[in-house]
Amino acid sequence: MFRLAHLTDPHVGPLPRPRLRQLMSKRATGWVNWRRGRRLTHDMEILAALVDDLRAAAPDHVACTGDLCNIGLPSEWETARVFMEGLGGPDFVSFVPGNHDAYVRGSLKGLLDAVGPWTRDDAGRDKRFPYLRRRGPLALIGLSSAIPTAPFVASGRLGSDQIRAAETMLQDLAAEPERPCRVVMIHHPPHVGGAKAGRNLTDAHAFEAMIGRVGADLVLHGHNHVGSVAFVMAPGGRRVPVIGAPSASARGGALKHCAGYHLYEIARTATGFTLTATLRGLLPEGGLGDLGTLTLKA
């Protein structure tokens, strides 16, 4: 039994006051949105409690699928690195970036310079996507959908080169005598209809087609700030679960908008893997606890 924790969209704060010249970009609208509401939505005390709960669950590995930052300020990069260190060391945590991490041109490079070790592949290279990490029976494939976009746009894109490289990785892994559980990590929902236009993965059709050719066992994502389950088709009529986790710091009024993370138990069977996902997060009466369990076969 291998235990994998998945959290996403922590939007680590507090957000430092930017300099005027730093607001001469998309950051201006992001700063206004933060001041008007996002700073109240994302609660760092809740995030700290959630991380404590996650660590107490003693997973074997942690997947973090992006949006450490808010508006891509250089001052946020060090804060993000400190958060990642608190979550766990680079061998224990795998990271892929989100759209807020690439808020403006140059933001993604700055963040990855700070948290690059959490993207280091098995060959010792970091800040390259896709990457492959093997942990126990898992093969973790990290994708980056993070690109800078115009104001009021939060879409993502993988690009043909990244999709092609991921296909090769997944195909090679499937051909191994003892096939690992292939877990794909991405920030944006990678299935068609996973997010509305302007927030979606623009090449979701190409991603789905790739999975249709070579398959996977589990796809993890964030971005929507709610828990969700969808499926994409794989060879042989298999359905690959595509599971989104809530924001790890949200203190919304509705249960599905409250902070949470998924804890997976993954077991090898004679024909593949059994995946059990437990959602842990804020309870209606307060505190943290189990919010439901989902069992899937891969």
pLDDT at 255: 44
Q: Tell me: domain 2-297, CATH 3.60.21.10, correct?
A: yes
Q: Is the pLDDT of residue 145 over 70?
A: yes
pLDDT of residue 298: 61
**pLDDT above 60: residue 263:** yes
Burial of 152 (0-12, 13-18, 19+ CB in 10 A): exposed
Share of the chain above pLDDT 70, in %: 95
pLDDT of residue 34: 73
Distance set, CA 63 to CA 39, 83, 140, 261 (Å): 24, 14, 9, 10
In 3D space, the residue among 198, 180, 178, 179 whose CA is nearest the CA of residue 188 turns out to be: 198
What pLDDT, on a 0 to 100 scale, did the predictor assign at position 78?
Answer: 95
pLDDT score, position 287: 87
Q: What is the pLDDT of residue 253?
A: 56
Beta-bridge mates of residue 191 = none
Partners of 261 in beta bridges: 280
Distance CA 133, CA 250 (A): 29
No. of H helices and E strands in the chain? 7, 12
Task: Report the C-alpha gap between 181 and 217 in whole angstroms.
Answer: 6
Q: What's the predicted TM-score (pTM) here?
A: 0.94
* Per-residue pLDDT tens digits for 179-204: 999 999 999 999 999 999 999 999 99
CA distance 143 to 132: 10
**CA–CA dist 226, 258 (Å, integer):** 8
Q: Does 23 have pLDDT greater than 60?
A: yes
Task: Determine the pLDDT at residue 249.
Answer: 95
Q: Is residue 184 a contact partner of residue 141, using CB atoms and an 8 Å limit?
A: yes
CA 296 to chain centre: 20
Least confident of 165-169, 177-181, 267-271: 267-271
- C-alpha to C-alpha distance for 172 and 281, rounded to whole angstroms: 36
In this predicted structure, the answer to whether residue 256 has a pLDDT above a threshold of 60 is: no
